Amino acid sequence: MARMKGKYALVTGGSSGIGLETARQFLAQGAQVAITGRDADALARAQAQLGEPVLAIRSDASQVADQQQIARTLAQAWPRLDVLYANAADVTHRLLQDWDEATFDRVLATNLKGPFFLVQSLLPLLGDRASIILCGSTSAHIGLPQSSVYAASKAALLSLARTLSAELHPRGVRVNVLSPGPTDTPALNKLGLAPEAEERLRQDIRQLVPIGRLGTPWELAQAAVYLASDESRFMLGSELLVDGGVANL
């Protein structure tokens, strides 16, 4: 069954990992899909994997002007937007003493400011019964060392889902959060850590997962399909945790 037939869906950070697999699953469920990414080469490779109908938009999620340009591009190509999956994120992890202002600002700009202004820019395009999915993280619920700024940015999205839901539900727009747990994606190689520190963090992460393994992009993509489809129409301002039990056990 095509659970997203006739829907227009945007996936930010769609050039790899969870975003790329979600775009693939949205297509399989009948949606027309656009993806964004900061790296032009990675974006082109993703578009080639997904096929010509996919609209690929180069965009830096930390730049407000880029978010506004996404909206202009989609307005020229599509009649409306039914699904936004704001998946792009900066996953930098550091010890408290190693943070500097520039890195702090970049993480918050990518993970909070970017999604906020993207939603604002897309308002004229959002159709009736549109679904906005913000990418949270189980890190917002636990005290994982070195995740301070990243986890705080994701916790802010939980609040944003509630407040934006209160504003937007009168026009039929739903806002929810999909929070992955530790997932086997290329993002694990982009934490900004020295090799020894990264391996220690990986070991700590594995020990956190009660079911004893990392999640897969496919598993997260299936949850995104649910939130994007009309099957989740009674969910509003909620969080869907797909984390192997990390936050609850």
Regarding pTM above 0.75, the answer is yes
Domain membership of residue 249 (yes or no) is: no
Active site residue 85: no
Question: For residue 69, what are the domain limits?
Answer: 8-239
Domain membership of residue 248 (yes or no) is: no
Domain membership of residue 245 (yes or no) is: no
User: Residue 114 is part of a domain; what is its CATH number?
Assistant: 3.40.50.720
Domain membership of residue 3 (yes or no) is: no
pLDDT for the residue 190: 63
Q: How many domains does the chain have?
A: 1
Domain membership of residue 227 (yes or no) is: yes
pLDDT for the residue 186: 74
pLDDT for the residue 248: 93
Domain membership of residue 221 (yes or no) is: yes
pLDDT for the residue 191: 60
Domain membership of residue 66 (yes or no) is: yes
pLDDT for the residue 192: 62
**How far is Cα 131 from Cα 120, in angstroms, rounded to an integer?**
14
**How far is Cα 132 from Cα 228, in angstroms, rounded to an integer?**
8
In eight-state DSSP terms, residue 79 is S
pLDDT for the residue 92: 93
For 202-241, how does the pLDDT look when each residue is reduced to its tens digit (9 = 90+)? 777 778 899 888 899 999 999 999 999 999 999 999 999 9
Using alpha carbons, list the distances in angstroms from residue 175 to 130, 135, 137.
9, 11, 16
Question: What average pLDDT values come out for the chain (249 residues) when binned by 10 residues?
Answer: 93 97 98 97 96 95 98 98 98 95 98 98 96 97 93 98 97 97 77 72 79 92 98 97 95
**How far is Cα 225 from Cα 121, in angstroms, rounded to an integer?**
23
End-to-end CA distance of the chain: 34
Domain membership of residue 244 (yes or no) is: no
Annotated active-site residue in 8, 85, 150, 226: 150
Structure tokens at 137: 């993280």
pLDDT for the residue 99: 98
